[in-house]
Amino acid sequence: MVVKIKKELMPLEQLLLYLTIASAFTGSLWLYEAGPIHVFPFRMLLIVMWLLFLSSIFFLNNGRLDLSHVKVKMHLYFFVIWLAYASLSIIWAADKLEALRNISFLFIGCSIIFFLIFYFRKLNYLKWLYWLWLFIFIVLIPIGIWEVITGNHLTASGLYAEIRPDLIYAPTTVFYNQNDFATYIALTLPMLIASMRNYPKSANRILFALVFIAGLFLLISTTSRSCLVALLLGLSFWFLFLLKLKGKCKTLAIATIMLVLIISAFPDQTMETIDIVTNQIHSLSSLRSHEDDESIDIRQNLIRNALYFTAESAGVGVGAGNAEFYMERFKIYPVGYVTNVHNWWVEILLNYGVFIFAGYVILYVTILLNLWRAYKRVIDRTEKMICEALLVGMVIFFVASVSSSSIIAFSPQWIFFGFILAFLNYTRITNSARNSKCTS
């Protein structure tokens, strides 16, 4: 079964995967609750993906799974090991139900990564995924601006009934909270920069620039300090390492002109925005407990507790999803009412132990280096655009991932990692084919 799109035949699996990815961003709007079970279109489509995948193996390939086109097997092995270790940790996890819930989120994320690698082996599929991500972002912008102006939110938002003045105007769009939305924005803005660089028509550049400015405005409005720092880190990396001297001079000139024009047109709003950004960055480590007389930094104490629990577990971790259980009942350092670690890296260490944490760090560094090497090799404009956006996004992810309380159930991070590995897989397939032609 195929669907015709722009004179190209798209297999059902690829089309269904696009729908699954789109539903990962909008699925919370169509939530159906059946008691303790939450039914999302995203999860239902993912089940369909697995049924279609397994059916093709047993009925079309005589029970054989062909992974010959998968050139990033070592990366996939890590996710398999991670999932297996998480399942094994149920044995020593104190909260079995939370462990099962955490494992289900991990399985969903690994599934997305696998399907993206397995099915998106052509540049066209990756390009459509790139534009789909940006299209969803553009659709969400007016929703976010509406939230900032009115203080109203969609019913799926955790701020839907919020009355606190410091939170009511923070945009969340289709995400549960403003920090998740901020992380998504931070990962998306490099795509807009890469699009401006690689699609040089004036109309395209103006469109991407306007979307970038709107996205930056929404990011500031979320008050996510970590994501602001992450974006500054990513932009610094992009400016220092991905731009040539001519590009640096041009970028500085354009940025200066734009800044002067914006300050001239909106002087009061600009100064107010600068003050907000400065205060947010300055207060990055100022999350404190009102009940703690010594005003000890909560984030720092969360990390201290996590390291203590990890050591007490002899480095094997407290079990999948059990970080909050231990933080609530056995904390050594005061954290007020906060029980979630609020740090993705530390959460992995606490839940899964030093071996999975070390593997994740190696995975991150390896992906970063592979993207860097790929960026130096690719010539095609679309390849360059995708690689540049993913590389800068990966740098941003290092800090942006600590913005939310937890991102285990944050679908865009799994889609982002799947996108990267699918792209690296594509480049290796392409290089292998070129090498074969040269030797023949």
Would you call 341 helix, strand, or coil by DSSP? Answer: coil
The CA distances from residue 117 to 62, 103, 127, 372, 409, in Å, are 22, 21, 14, 19, 20
Residues 6+ apart with CB under 8 A from 55: none
Q: How far apart are CA 261 and CA 269, in angstroms?
A: 13
Least-confidence region, from 165-174, 233-242, 250-259, 375-384: 250-259
Q: How far apart are CA 333 and CA 306, in angstroms?
A: 10
List pLDDT tens digits, range 179-215.
999 999 999 999 999 999 988 788 888 899 999 999 9
Residues 6+ apart with CB under 8 A from 351: 86, 89, 102, 317, 318, 319, 320, 321, 322, 323
Confidence of residue 3 (pLDDT cuts 50, 70, 90): very low
pTM of the model: 0.91
Query: How many other CB atoms are there within 10 angstroms of residue 377's CB atom?
Result: 11
Domain boundaries, the chain: 1-66, 67-431
DSSP state at residue 4: E
Q: How far apart are CA 237 and CA 393, in angstroms?
A: 10
List pLDDT tens digits, range 273-285.
666 666 655 655 4
Residues 6+ apart with CB under 8 A from 362: 78
